[in-house]
Amino acid sequence: MTLEDYGWDSHFETEFHRIKKTSFVPARVCRVEKDRYFLHNGVSAYEGVLSGKFRSQTRKKSDLPTIGDWVVMKKPSGSFGLIEMLLRRKNALSRKTAGMVTEEQLISANVDAAMIFSALDQDLSIPRIERYLLLCAQCAIEPFCVFNKLDLCSSLEEALTKTQMLRPDVQRFFISVQNHTGISELLPYFGKGKTVVLLGSSGVGKTSFINAIAPNLSGKTQEVRVTDHKGKHTTTWRELVLLPGGGLLVDNPGMREVQLWADKDALEDTFEDILALESACRFRNCSHLSEPGCAVLRAVENGQLREERLENYRKLKAEINRLTVRRKEVGR
């Protein structure tokens, strides 16, 4: 194996050469456990901790290394490494921390694509998927949607109609991990050195999918409940793993809630269709509630835009506005 197998490219090569210290070597963060970092440099695995200097210069949690980051450590002695600095990220996928605190929580860094995993039985939630799409738009990560449990779908036509509410440019794949249907169509995303982050709720089949593409990597899934066909929660920590056929996967525990860490631009990218309609509204500050001459409401009436998509747009816009205000207050 090499650094390139773990996602090293010209961006990180350039960043590393700026350091100009022969006693330093790069490694990628594969797992984090409190103050311990589990690293790989393409040849060997290491356990690392932050140097005192690094830690003292850290101002906020998002400055600390996360899954997918490339760090620089002193040439290790044995299997232990002292992390001296963080190489500049290409991107970072984040959400807001749970609760009332307005703070960024990193999910993973230096990602090439995001696989948004849902189930076609009782879990399919378009508003939740749109939240994931917003997070991806915020950091310019290519998303694609995977709808699992095709074998349990009672009405594929109804499911297809639901998914048509999503951004039209987002790729959609309908699969059954149980029957191994459609999985091969996803493999091109996992090219050598490419990093894909896996997002989704618990019980939708994420761990089963990993077992299907890399049987020796992931732990066994727990049995699904007969009543609702949902698997029990099996992934308990984030981890970046190298797949046997090339490519890297960031496995995440199921997210019970997806709090936004995004801005107006990300919202506009995710709802480009509504933004295009807004330009034809009579009033510039139209709220699309009851104003005369509202092009958005007219699109709902004539079937061009689904009312559910507009309603979710309103909710997300209000949430982002509140987040923007709180972030300004915290930054004072």
Domain 4-86 has CATH 3.30.56.10: no
Residue 114 buriedness (CB in 10 A; 0-12 / 13-18 / 19+) = buried
Give CATH superfamily name and number for 92-251.
P-loop containing nucleotide triphosphate hydrolases (3.40.50.300)
User: From start to end of the chain, where are the E strands?
Assistant: 24-33, 36-40, 45-50, 70-74, 80-86, 92-96, 104-109, 113-119, 142-148, 171-174, 195-200, 239-242, 248-251
CA distance 63 to 79: 25
CA distance 208 to 220: 8
User: What is the model's pTM?
Assistant: 0.88
Single-letter code of the amino acid located at 192:
K
Question: Where do the domains of the chain lie?
Answer: 4-86, 92-251, 271-331
CB 113 within 8 A of CB 194: yes
Per-residue pLDDT tens digits of the chain, which is 332 residues long: 899 999 999 999 999 999 878 889 999 999 999 899 999 999 999 999 999 999 999 988 999 999 999 999 998 888 899 999 999 999 999 999 877 788 899 999 999 999 999 999 866 899 999 999 999 999 999 999 999 999 888 888 888 888 988 988 999 999 999 999 999 999 999 999 999 999 988 888 889 999 999 887 754 444 443 344 444 445 557 899 999 888 999 998 867 778 888 999 999 999 999 999 999 999 988 989 989 999 999 999 999 999 999 999 999 999 999 999 998 887 76
Domain 271-331 has CATH 3.40.50.620: no
Strand partners, 309: none
* Residue 265: CA count within 13 A, CB half-sphere: 5
User: How, if at all, do strands 195-200 and 248-251 pair?
Assistant: parallel
**Other Cβ atoms within 10 Å of 320 Cβ, number:** 19
